[in-house]
């Protein structure tokens, strides 16, 4: 049965490029991004892991720990990391899981039977400090992920976890947000002292409350 939003992210122990990790223990009270790659030494994945490394400070600012997973063995990972560092002008310092037994890929439903019985699809999971799955994105192997979008979604998830707001289409950090329907306009005016703009009774905007 595949994972759904709100499910507890399955825990696992695995060998990685930084040693053995217990997934839940590794995350601790942080948010997590777990993302899969069809195989080592593949061109799109090389750019993705490089981009993730380049954005390391952005993930750290958001209290996010990143883990990648590939079904290839650890020795291949180590050589691939050298290539990524060289070609993407960066330093990969997050763990890449060696999932040769397909344990993690199976737990997270990353094997795509229509494509291959062994290669993982390009899935990405955002996991909250409560270990619940907050977001799932699955791309085809031919399409590289947009990591600016991943950061944008994390900003939205962290904001909406702590305030009674939702984020509109194309929202970016710093822009106005939407008051959720569960909060009446009267209560919203008290709750959001920066102001509430009522467009329709069900569509009300307020400046981002945590700025």
Active site residues: 45
Task: Round to whole Å and give the CA distance between 154 and 137.
Answer: 13
Neighbours of 164 (CB within 10 A): 17
Sign of the CA dihedral running 5, 9, 10, 12: positive
Half-sphere exposure of 206 (CA within 13 A, CB side): 24
DSSP element (H, E) containing 191 = helix 185-191
Task: Round to whole Å and give the CA distance between 177 and 165.
Answer: 6
If you count DSSP H runs as helices and E runs as strands, how many of each does the chain have, helices first?
Answer: 7, 11
Strand partners, 14: 21
> What is Dmax (Cα atoms) for the chain?
61
């Amino acid at each position: 049965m595949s994972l759904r939003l709100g499910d507890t992210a399955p825990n696992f122990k695995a060998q990685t490029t930084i040693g053995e990790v217990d997934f839940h223990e590794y995350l601790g009270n942080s948010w997590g991004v777990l993302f899969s790659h069809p195989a080592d030494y593949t061109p799109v994945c090389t750019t993705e892991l490089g981009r993730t490394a380049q954005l390391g400070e952005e993930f750290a600012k958001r209290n996010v720990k990143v883990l990648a997973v590939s079904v290839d063995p650890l020795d291949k990972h180590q050589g691939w990391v050298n290539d990524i560092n060289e070609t993407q002008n960066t330093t990969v310092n997050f763990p890449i899981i060696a999932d040769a037994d397909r344990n993690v890929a199976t737990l997270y439903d990353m094997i795509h039977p229509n494509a291959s019985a062994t290669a993982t699809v390009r899935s990405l999971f955002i996991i909250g400090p409560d270990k619940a799955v907050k977001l799932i994105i699955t791309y085809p192997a031919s399409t590289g992920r947009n990591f600016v979008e991943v950061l944008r979604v994390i900003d939205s998830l962290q904001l909406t976890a702590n305030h009674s707001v939702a984020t509109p289409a194309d929202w970016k950090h710093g822009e106005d947000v939407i008051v959720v329907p569960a909060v009446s306009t009267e209560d919203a005016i008290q709750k959001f002292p920066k102001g509430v703009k009522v467009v329709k009774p069900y569509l009300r905007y307020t400046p981002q409350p945590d700025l």
